A and B are shown apart, each in its own frame.
Chain A
Amino acid sequence: AQSVTQLDSQVPVFEEAPVELRCNYSSSVSVYLFWYVQYPNQGLQLLLKYLSGSTLVKGINGFEAEFNKSQTSFHLRKPSVHISDTAEYFCAVSDRDTGNQFYFGTGTSLTVIP
């Protein structure tokens, strides 16, 4: 089974500053990679996904992530954050062979400070 590590449980950042949320996964087998966002008291919303092709993936709300196979990482970045980006962010992985079973990280709480 895969394991997903989100290295930072909480990330405070000032408004308009850049941010990087880190994610590493355990296996070098072919994987699909995802980032989800969860606003308070809501469900999970897909931010972006990597299935194949370009290793730089662009998602909604100005977020992007880069798949690095050699480092088994999929870090999420945004060049300039807004107050509305305050939320919990989850990295997730699924094996290409099955494509159906997802493994989630423990989440990173992003707080944007005015």
Chain B
Amino acid sequence: NAGVTQTPKFQVLKTGQSMTLQCAQDMNHEYMSWYRQDPGMGLRLIHYSVGAGITDQGEVPNGYNVSRSTTEDFPLRLLSAAPSQTSVYFCASSYFGVIYFGEGSWLTVV
């Protein structure tokens, strides 16, 4: 079972570049989310989706964009990368009390 698959695992970007973190799940979960993890701050919710065609902002949405055209896919776009977006990003899908994480994407913006 693949679960939640996110790519790439590591990425270095220059300030101002854009990129997309890909996320896919094969469990048919309606709810998907993106978190960023920074030292001393835990996991903070960036965006989430309760189903195809529906997205909403989390705690730290600025500088990020998402879409949900299918149940399976929930990509996260960095519109113009900034050093403050250097972080570890986790995609997740969840269903009534169980959350499944991807393996994480380590992003460095220089």
Residues of A at the B interface (CB closer than 8 Å) are 6, 9, 32, 34, 41-44, 49, 51, 90, 92, 94, 96, 99-102, 104-107
Contact = CB atoms under 8 A, between A and B. Distances in A.
Interface centre among B33, B97, B99 (most CB of A within 10 A): B97
Interface in B54-98: 90, 92, 94-98
A22 B96 CA distance: 24
A90 B43 contact: yes
A50 B43 CA distance: 20
Contacts of B103: 42-43
Contact of A100 (B35, B43, B44, B95): B95
A86 to B, nearest CB: 16
Nearest to A49: B97
- Grouping DSSP codes into helix (H, G, I), strand (E, B) and loop, the A interface class, with mixed when no group exceeds half, is loop
Return the 9 tightest CB-CB contacts between A and B, nearest first: A99-B96, A100-B31, A106-B42, A104-B43, A32-B97, A100-B94, A104-B42, A43-B103, A43-B104
- Grouping DSSP codes into helix (H, G, I), strand (E, B) and loop, the B interface class, with mixed when no group exceeds half, is strand
A59 to B, nearest CB: 14
Interface centre among A41, A94, A102, A105 (most CB of B within 10 A): A102
B13 to A, nearest CB: 19
A30 B97 CA distance: 12
B42 A105 contact: yes
Interface residues of B, number: 25
Given A43-B103, A43-B104, A44-B101, A102 B94 contact: yes
A18 to B, nearest CB: 25
Contacts of B34: none
A107 B94 contact: no
20 contacts: A34-B99, A42-B104, A43-B90, A43-B101, A43-B102, A43-B104, A90-B43, A99-B95, A99-B96, A99-B97, A101-B33, A101-B48, A101-B94, A102-B33, A102-B92, A102-B99, A104-B43, A105-B42, A106-B40, A107-B40
Contacts of A41: 106
